[in-house]
Amino acid sequence: MKRIGIAMLLLSSLCLAQNPSGFVPASTNVWGAEYPRVDASGRAEFRIKAPDASTVKLNFWSNPKMDMVKQSDGFWTATTPPLVPGFHYYTLIIDGVEVSDPGSHSFFGGGKDASGIEIPEAGSTYYLPQDVPHGGVREIWYFSKVTGSWRHALVYTPPGYDTHPSLRYPVLYLQHGGGEDETGWIKQGSANFILDNLIASKSSKPMIIVMAYGYARRAGYVEPDLAGKPFGSPEMMKAMQEMSQSFEDDLTQALIPYIDSNFRTVADRDHRAMAGLSMGGMQTFQVTFDHLELFSYIGGFSGAGGMSMMRGDQKLDMKTAFNGAFADPAAFAKRVHLLWIGVGTEEPAMMHAGIVKLHASLDEASVKHVFYESPGTSHEWQTWRRDLKDFAPRLFQ
């Protein structure tokens, strides 16, 4: 590992020597691609060959769109202002057609594969591979009687899992957001490296992490025709509730039994946690509060409670919310070892307000919990990486 680190340092030095402007290829590039490039200030340079195109736009999902400029050699270029550190989705729009950048790896987000670029955060190494023992990431397939289909999940096993066969581990079920899938926490979120580094520093207990596919359709269920139905319509909300309930049943009736049968888990509620980002956070609150016999650690990353709470348009009745779990704060604190909620300071206003309101309601009702705000980040992976870094060390202590 030390030799690899030295080699990477030499490669970075060579890139800087070749690019005195300070721009170097992004870590998210495919092998050998010189563009896109990033510099220490967070700017990014893009270059795409499209000699016959009339217009090319750089389409960042979470940043202003930019017109690229055609050069005499048929390449189109653009340089962004400094971007917020972290991972950003983007595509290119060439003569009105949205395409991926061939220089970037693809990542599943927004319901499709898209390009992504990593903007380094100065001084932050907690989500990067380090010279520490590394865990493994395994793919599993399990048959679900709930959906009547084979389903896919990723499982992180901590360092030493294979070399210490007598040890058993607690489990964190960690969910992705809407439009993403079970690969997100590894490919975009670097959850495996975050845990490797936390475990190596003895900040976190070794644990298994299960990342499940967050969409489910019950066997025999016929999807209604929702064409033209507005978001929030009764038909739309009913379909969403059906998907949510199907996922809950799949997780509790199929996936958890599979994990406990095929991995060396400590199979009780005191050693089982669930957390998720955005949609996954709302799923977490539904699943865990419906099944407190299964979970004792709960985390919502930019997502907690129901949709109305996320919009901030409904006051939470603490005596009746979540099956009355908060009606007796002292009893709740004995049963739930950790309730954790987080949000980025720059998240969309209604979402930020809704989660802050939930925090205030919990405080007002004397419900013990942890509230965390990620400074300067919005509804994006840097927020959720920071959330996991704060959440994981609090588990199973």
CATH number of residue 101's parent domain: 2.60.40.10
Is residue 1 situated within a structural domain? Answer: no
**Per-residue buried b or exposed e for 84-96, using 16+ beta carbons within 10 Å of the residue's own CB:** bbbbbbbbbbbee
pLDDT at 325: 87
Residues 266 and 379 in one domain: yes
Is residue 291 situated within a structural domain? Answer: yes
Residues 42 and 168 in one domain: no
Residues 288 and 388 in one domain: yes
* Strand duo 208-212 + 171-175: pairing: parallel
Q: What is the pLDDT of residues 268-300, one digit of tens each?
A: 999 999 999 999 999 999 999 999 999 999 999
pLDDT at 13: 43
Residues 187 and 287 in one domain: yes
Rounded to whole angstroms, the Cα distance separating 341 from 355 reads: 8
Q: How many domains does the chain have?
A: 2
Q: What is the largest CA-CA distance in the chain?
A: 71
pLDDT at 238: 78
Is residue 8 situated within a structural domain? Answer: no
Q: Which domain holds residue 247?
A: 136-221+234-394
Asked which of 61, 91, 119 is the last residue of a domain, the reply is: 119
Is residue 2 situated within a structural domain? Answer: no
List strands edge to edge, sheet with 171-175. 136-144, 149-157, 208-212, 171-175, 272-277, 297-301, 338-344, 370-374
Structure pTM? 0.90
Rounded to whole angstroms, the Cα distance separating 242 from 255 reads: 18
Residues 166 and 303 in one domain: yes
Residue 69: what residue type?
V
Is residue 227 situated within a structural domain? Answer: no
DSSP of 167-199:
--B-EEEEE--TT--TTHHHHTT-HHHHHHHHH
Residues 34 and 99 in one domain: yes
Residues 100 and 204 in one domain: no
Residues 68 and 154 in one domain: no
Residues 330 and 183 in one domain: yes
Question: Is there a contact between 362 and 355 (Cβ–Cβ < 8 Å)?
Answer: no
Residues 65 and 167 in one domain: no
Residue 6's pLDDT band, with cuts at 50, 70 and 90, is very low
* Strand duo 106-109 + 112-119: pairing: antiparallel
State the average pLDDT over residues 372-393. 97
CATH number of the domain enclosing 270: 3.40.50.1820
Asked which of 119, 147, 168 is the last residue of a domain, the reply is: 119
Q: What is the pLDDT of residues 78-99, one digit of tens each?
A: 999 999 999 999 999 999 999 9
Residues 191 and 53 in one domain: no
Is residue 335 situated within a structural domain? Answer: yes
Structure tokens at 367: 């419900």
Is residue 127 situated within a structural domain? Answer: no
Is residue 229 situated within a structural domain? Answer: no
Asked which of 119, 149, 168 is the last residue of a domain, the reply is: 119
Residues 152 and 40 in one domain: no
Q: What is the pLDDT of residues 332-361, one digit of tens each?
A: 999 999 999 999 999 999 999 999 999 999
The gap from C-alpha 122 to its chain's centroid, in whole angstroms, comes to 21
Q: What is the pLDDT of residues 213-254, one digit of tens each?
A: 999 999 988 877 777 777 667 777 777 788 889 999 999 999
pLDDT at 237: 74
Query: Which DSSP state fits 356?
Result: H
Q: Where are the beta strands (DSSP E) in the chain?
A: 24-25, 37-38, 44-49, 56-60, 66-67, 69-70, 75-79, 86-94, 97-99, 106-109, 112-119, 136-144, 149-157, 171-175, 208-212, 272-277, 297-301, 338-344, 370-374
